[in-house]
Amino acid sequence: MSGIIANPQQVEQWAEAERRKPLTRRRFLCGTGAAVAGLALYSGEIARHEISIVTHEIVIANLPAAFHGFRIVQISDIHLDEYTEPWFLRRVVGQINRLAPDLVALTGDYISAGPLGERFAARAMPRCVEILREIVCPLRYAVMGNHDYVLGPVQIRAELAKASIPLLLNQHIAIERAGQQMWLAGVADPVISQPDLRLALPEQPDGPVILLAHGPDFADTVVADPRGALVDLMLAGHSHGGQICLPIVGALTRPAGAKKYFEGLYRVGAMQVYVNRGIGTVGLPFRLNCPPEISLFTLRPADGLNPVFY
């Protein structure tokens, strides 16, 4: 019987020895697994849905008086709805409406090219547009992202038109206010398509030019172009800000087209460039130290203010 019924004193001694025992490989793996599971839960369900509203004052030298204080909201990389839920996009739209901007810029990747592919994307795009239709701002413009080419510009343009959102595909448009103008231009996605600045930029703009381009590294092409000096501000996305950013290490990945200009505000030559972290995710439904972003820009004239660049 002594081998069946444990001695209480022995049990207590064993338990105390276990508590004092150094960390074994098995216990380490069990603890690590629990930590990883907790981190995955946090990054997938909490951090992925923490909307960050990032505000910047953008100083533009030739800003007409009618556009002093003009407010632009940018969102990017929605990727509905393999991982980005419709309810979350509605939350984003609600935040945009509360900001009451003068113009909303959408810088591409409304859907995802994978892993579920074209048929899923074709069903997701109308759902995305139906939610974007709820943006109250009357001035809403879009460009293509690389994932959007799984459907192509004809279909993307047609869907966005249902929400009265023009797609600027190597095109420009004058934004008028109190008899003065600034120009909004948009190019085809620089990552997998052929941007054409000759078509995208106005010939002789009588005001500042803001360029929408999905891939931020296109900024170097802009400033190298003879007409690139016309562009005062370029708004881009694509990078997701790295999506998963670890302490010290930083972003785990930087996609092609966003290797150099990755997140935040830069100066490239005389042009300012802003890279938005995006709303959605690709690859895995995780974000860590890299929350979804709504960018709010207030335009100011050059009056001694010094913008901060990364």
Quick check: 255 and 298 in contact, CB under 8 A? no
Among 41-45, 177-181, 263-267, where is mean pLDDT lowest?
Answer: 41-45
- The pTM of the full predicted model, rounded to 2 decimals, is 0.86
Angle between helices 118-132 and 86-99 (to 10 degrees): 30
Q: What average pLDDT is seen over the chain?
A: 88
Rounded distance between C-alpha atoms, residue 145 and residue 193, angstroms:
9
Largest CA distance in the chain: 100
Residue ranges and CATH numbers for the domains of the chain are 1-49 (no CATH), 51-301 (3.60.21.10)
Q: How confident is the model at residue 248 (pLDDT cuts 50, 70, 90)?
A: confident
Q: What are 199-246's pLDDT values in tens digits? A: 999 999 999 999 999 999 999 999 999 999 999 999 999 999 999 999
Rounded distance between C-alpha atoms, residue 185 and residue 200, angstroms:
6
Q: How confident is the model at residue 28 (pLDDT cuts 50, 70, 90)?
A: very low
Whether the pLDDT of residue 12 is over 90: the answer is: no
Averaged pLDDT for residues 88-114: 98
Provide the token pair at 195. Answer: 């941007």
Rounded distance between C-alpha atoms, residue 25 and residue 132, angstroms:
51
Q: What are 255-306's pLDDT values in tens digits? A: 999 999 999 999 999 999 999 999 999 988 999 999 999 999 999 999 754 5
Q: How confident is the model at residue 23 (pLDDT cuts 50, 70, 90)?
A: very low
Q: How confident is the model at residue 11 (pLDDT cuts 50, 70, 90)?
A: very low
Averaged pLDDT for residues 8-13: 54
Q: What are 149-164's pLDDT values in tens digits? A: 999 999 999 999 999 9
